[in-house]
Structure 1
Amino acid sequence: MAGGAERAPVARLTLSGRDAALLDFEHGHWPRLAPAAPGPKEAAIREELGISPTRYYQLLNGLLDSEAALARHPVMINRLRAVRERRRVARQ
């Protein structure tokens, strides 16, 4: 850009099919399960989404800053943002 000005990141207003599936999976199947609980959720991630649990959580974390994700599942996204923030503060 001219003069060294930087553009602000563009808010994601749409979700890919994969992103929507991740959000719907988290919302529909596991709303009350502790995020660190091992076992059935990890097996379901592999079976239903075809990815590793590690990759699932990476992708889900990336979606927490998406306006489209917030619009799709506002309560869940706000809850997960709060969990992420509590963990960030605890690490400091």
Structure 2
Amino acid sequence: MDADDEPGGGPEQAPGRHLARRERDILALERRGFTGPGLKERAIREELGLSPVRYYQLLNALLDDLRALEHDPVTVNRLRRVRDARRSER
């Protein structure tokens, strides 16, 4: 795995640095609508070559990365709201 495959590490990331391809692909997959059960997990495995567990680990780290927010603010803010709602339910 290349260094570019991992999320940048969080809000302290240098604002001029761009997201790696895998990070952009993860956000693109999150923008898509999946109509049936298991379709998203299948796309994660087939298109990204990741297990769903690893995918969600990377996605969660991306949500705290300012570069991701700059790249796709609508998707990142929507996912942050969903994450915050789930946390408050616990």
Is this a same-fold pair by TM over 0.5?
yes
Q: Quick one: distance in 1 between partners of 2:39 and 2:63?
A: 23
Partner in structure 1 of residue 3 of structure 2 = none
* TM-score in terms of structure 2 length: 0.75
Runs of 4+ in structure 1 off by over 6 angstroms are: none
Distance 1:66 1:15, change over 3 A: same
**Structure 2, unpaired ranges of 5+:** 1-10
Cα deviation 1:4-33 (Å, max 9, x = unaligned): xxxxx6235321121111112212x23xx5
Q: Quick one: distance in 2 between partners of 1:90 and 1:52?
A: 26
1:8-47 alignment runs, 5 A limit? 10-13=12-15, 14-27=18-31, 29-30=32-33, 33=34, 38-47=37-46
Percent of residue pairs bearing the same amino acid type: 53
Cα deviation 1:31-79 (Å, max 9, x = unaligned): xx59xx7411111110000001111111101100111111111111111
